[in-house]
């Protein structure tokens, strides 16, 4: 199983599982059962101990796989948002050499200020609107 997009710890966090340790990242149910341990109260009531008793895990391999798929789908569906922030290609990137991403907030405020100072109003022909539109056009939903 590949954890490049969604790390294993994030999957467990999203499932509400805390206090665990792993000997190695699991690729299947057999490895999960062999490598995963959960923190439980120590038998003497002081501190914790780690258990590999799967009945105490609070999560199954099938739940982990399902949550990973859910998180990967959400990640894929939000690609346009990452592209708008991180940049790909497009008119703004070509003009400014940054990839087609939103300009920094300060730069956007500067565009708005200069348009208001010059024309007295904001319009769809202004530099801010055209810059933001170029990014949105280059990265459609």
Per the structure, the complete domain to which residue 131 belongs is given by 83-138
Are 56 and 117 contained in the same domain? Answer: no
Same domain membership, residue 68 and residue 106:
no
Question: Which pLDDT does position 89 carry in this prediction?
Answer: 47
DSSP state for residue 103 in the 8-state scheme: P
Judge if 71 and 23 occupy the same domain.
yes
Q: What are phi and psi of 139, to 5 degrees?
A: -130, 70
Q: What is the pLDDT of residue 132?
A: 86
In a domain, 2, yes or no: no
As for how many domains the chain has, the answer is 2
Final residue of a structural domain among 38, 56, 77: 77
The verdict on 87 and 71 lying in the same domain is no
Are both 72 and 89 inside the same structural domain? no
On whether both 71 and 17 belong to a single domain, the answer is: yes
Tokens of 107: 């730069």
Q: Residue 57 domain-assigned?
A: yes
Same domain, 18 and 40: yes
How many beta carbons lie within 10 A of that of residue 12, not counting itself? 20
Do the bridges between strand 48-51 and strand 20-22 make them parallel or antiparallel, or are there none, so unpaired?
Answer: unpaired
Do 68 and 14 lie in a common domain? yes
Residue pLDDT tens, the chain, 141 long:
788 889 999 999 999 999 999 999 999 999 999 999 999 998 888 899 999 999 999 999 999 999 999 999 988 888 777 776 665 444 555 555 555 677 878 888 999 999 999 999 999 998 899 888 887 887 777
Picking from 76, 80, 75, 77, the residue whose alpha carbon sits closest to that of residue 138 is: 80
């Amino acid at each position: 199983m590949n954890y490049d997009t969604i790390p294993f710890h994030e999957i467990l966090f999203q499932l509400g599982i805390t206090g665990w340790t792993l000997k190695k990242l699991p690729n299947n149910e057999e490895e999960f059962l062999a490598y995963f341990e959960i923190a439980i109260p120590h038998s003497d009531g002081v501190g914790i101990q780690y258990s590999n008793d799967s009945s105490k895990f609070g999560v199954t391999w099938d739940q982990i796989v399902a949550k990973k798929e859910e998180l990967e789908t959400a990640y894929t569906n939000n690609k346009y948002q990452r592209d708008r922030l991180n940049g790909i290609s497009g008119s703004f990137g070509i003009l400014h050499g940054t990839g087609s991403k939103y300009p920094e907030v300060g730069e956007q405020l500067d565009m708005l200020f200069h348009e208001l100072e010059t024309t007295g109003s904001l319009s769809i022909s202004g530099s801010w609107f055209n810059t933001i539109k170029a990014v949105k056009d280059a990265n459609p939903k």
